[in-house]
């Protein structure tokens, strides 16, 4: 079997790739909806993979892996890897999880990072009301993640929140020391959410990036009595192309609150310090950024050897990305907590993807399916109306 083409289109905001072969088997994969601009970058790799046997996944990846980079640029390589596994599974007549060593769980736990409701401000009362809605969601999530501090509207909307200035633009962020008022406000919001969730639903908190080390330690110690699941990306994180493991280690060693990072990191080599220095308690790589599902599984196994937990990121990975997360997570070692559940946006995504269960999530879990490959397909006829001009031949 040989690869004959690499195609890419953008459905809604999500880049979707299709790798075709000379035996009529094709593979699909999807990139986060925030990266609609990656189509030319994805197509750059076509020259490197056409003519290769797609079922030799690792051989193909050796040709292109070093040509990627930290989020967002690793997404192109990651999508190709997942589409190759889709082809390999279909060619073997097996679900992808069988090719990764087999499943160790029949149902995979997911956490809520994407089923959102509008926030009415940034007060503790607003956070509590929002958490009530998420707790009541029909998916029955057993873990909910919410943004606070620099991963929320607090720095912009809470007066005198920190000693610094918010950057402008689509990727604008803030970074700097919290004021005493800012720290107290953040803790009050966490307390309000925990009052709603009690010990029935776990609360994870996305915090940055942007906190200084002293503030990260203060916040982590302040919420110790609340038993939160983790504090995520306090120092580095989304779209930060470095790790700073030594700084994370300082925070982690100062608190009993679990510390988490990793969604932006590309390749196993860049997790080495975090894992081997015990710099964090939880890592959260995204299969759409780390280099694919086999790369993530390798990192999960290495983390397990060092007593570090695994909660894969995935909020923007879409419904094809969801299928990849399910197949991969079924095979991860027992350091697995849950993966971040992605949704389809716009809603018509649910009309064009075939193969997902209905409902997808029950009582916070997704049952692993056994269809070949990733187990989902795009309905070509239903999808054609959403193809951008110039991509009419995507399914040819």
CB atoms within 10 A of CB 142: 16
Q: Is 321 a domain residue?
A: yes
> Do 191 and 220 belong together in one domain?
yes
- The region that residue 22 occupies, defined by phi over 0 for left and psi between -120 and 50 for alpha, beta otherwise, is alpha
pLDDT for 302-357, tens place per residue? 999 999 999 999 999 999 999 999 999 999 999 999 999 999 999 999 999 999 99
> Do 312 and 329 belong together in one domain?
yes
Is a pLDDT exceeding 70 seen at residue 170? no
> Do 115 and 81 belong together in one domain?
no
What average pLDDT does range 276-288 have in this prediction? 98
CA atoms within 13 A on the CB side of 268: 13
**What backbone torsions phi and psi does residue 122 show, to the nearest 5 degrees?**
-125, 25
Q: Is 13 a domain residue?
A: yes
The pLDDT value given to residue 167: 84
CATH number of the structural domain spanning residue 49: 3.30.390.10
> Do 285 and 201 belong together in one domain?
yes
CATH number of the structural domain spanning residue 249: 3.20.20.120
User: How buried is 164 (Cβ within 10 angstroms: 0-12 exposed, 13-18 middle, 19+ buried)?
Assistant: middle
Is a pLDDT exceeding 90 seen at residue 387? yes
Q: Is 59 a domain residue?
A: yes
- Specify which residues 394 forms β-bridges with: none
Q: Is 141 a domain residue?
A: yes
> Do 343 and 252 belong together in one domain?
yes
Q: Is 391 a domain residue?
A: no
**CB 189 within 8 Å of CB 147:** no
Name the domain count of the chain. Answer: 2
> Do 229 and 342 belong together in one domain?
yes
DSSP state of 280: -
pLDDT for 187-234, tens place per residue? 999 999 999 999 999 999 999 999 999 999 999 999 999 999 999 999
pLDDT for 235-244, tens place per residue? 999 999 999 9
Q: Is 394 a domain residue?
A: no
> Do 83 and 105 belong together in one domain?
no
3-state secondary structure the chain: CCEEEEEEEEECCEEEEEEEECCCCCEEEECCHHHHHHHHHHHHCHHHHCCCCCCCHHHHHHHHHHHCCCCCCHHHHHHHHHHHHHHHHHHHCCEHHHHCCCCCCCEEEEEECCCCCCCCCCCHHHHHHHHHHHHCCCCCCCEEEEECHHHCCHHHHCCCCECCCCCCCCCCCCCCCECHHHHHHHHHHHHHHHHHHCCCCEEEEECCCCCCHHHHHHHHHHCHHHCCCEEECCCCCCCCCCCCHHHHHHHHCCCCCCEEECCCCCCHHHHHHHHHCCCCCEECCCHHHHCCHHHHHHHHHHHHHCCCEECCCCCCCHHHHHHHHHHHHCCCCCCECCEEECCCCCCCHHHHEECCCCCCCECCEEECCCCCECCCEECHHHHHHHCCCCCCCCCC
**CB 378 within 8 Å of CB 28:** yes
Q: What is this structure's pTM?
A: 0.97
Cα distance between residue 120 and residue 126, in whole Å: 6
**Residue 89 is part of which domain span?**
3-93+379-386
pLDDT for 77-86, tens place per residue? 999 999 999 9
The rounded percent of the chain whose pLDDT value lies above 90 is 97
């Amino acid at each position: 079997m040989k690869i004959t083409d690499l195609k890419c289109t953008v459905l809604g905001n999500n880049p979707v790739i299709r790798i075709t072969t000379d035996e009529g088997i094709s593979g699909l994969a999807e990139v986060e909806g925030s990266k609609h601009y990656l189509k030319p970058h994805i197509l750059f790799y076509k020259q490197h993979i056409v003519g290769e046997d797609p079922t030799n996944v690792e051989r193909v990846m050796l040709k292109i892996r070093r040509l990627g980079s930290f989020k967002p640029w690793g997404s192109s390589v990651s999508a190709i890897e997942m589409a190759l596994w889709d082809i390999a599974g279909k060619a073997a007549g097996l679900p992808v999880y069988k090719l990764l060593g087999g499943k160790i769980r029949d149902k995979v736990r997911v956490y809520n990072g994407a089923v959102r409701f509008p926030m009415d401000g940034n007060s503790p009362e607003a956070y509590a009301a929002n958490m009530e809605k998420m707790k009541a969601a029909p998916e029955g999530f057993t873990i909910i993640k919410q943004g606070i501090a620099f991963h929320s509207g607090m720095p912009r909307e809470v007066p005198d929140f920190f000693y610094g200035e918010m950057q402008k633009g689509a990727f604008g962020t803030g970074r700097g020391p919290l004021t005493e008022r800012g720290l107290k406000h953040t803790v009050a919001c966490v307390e309000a959410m925990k009052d709603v969730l009690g010990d029935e639903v776990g609360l994870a908190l996305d915090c940055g990036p942007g906190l200084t080390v002293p503030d990260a330690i203060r916040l982590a110690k302040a919420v110790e009595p609340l038993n939160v699941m983790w504090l995520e990306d306090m120092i580095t994180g989304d779209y930060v192309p470095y790790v700073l493991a030594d700084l994370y280690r300082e925070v982690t060693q100062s608190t009993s609150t679990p510390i988490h990072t990793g969604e932006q990191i590309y390749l196993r080599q860049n997790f080495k310090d975090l894992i081997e220095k015990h710099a964090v308690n939880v890592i959260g790589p995204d299969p759409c950024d780390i280099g694919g599902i086999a790369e993530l599984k390798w990192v999960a196994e290495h983390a397990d050897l060092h007593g570090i937990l695994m909660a894969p990121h995935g909020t923007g990975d879409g419904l094809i990305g969801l299928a990849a997360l399910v197949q991969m997570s079924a095979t991860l070692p027992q350091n697995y907590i849950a993966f971040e559940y992605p949704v389809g946006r716009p809603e018509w995504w649910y009309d064009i993807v075939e193969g997902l269960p209905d409902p997808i999530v029950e009582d916070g879990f997704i049952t692993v399916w056994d269809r070949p490959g990733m187990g989902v397909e795009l309905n070509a006829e239903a999808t054609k109306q959403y193809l951008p001009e110039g991509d009419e031949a995507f399914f040819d």
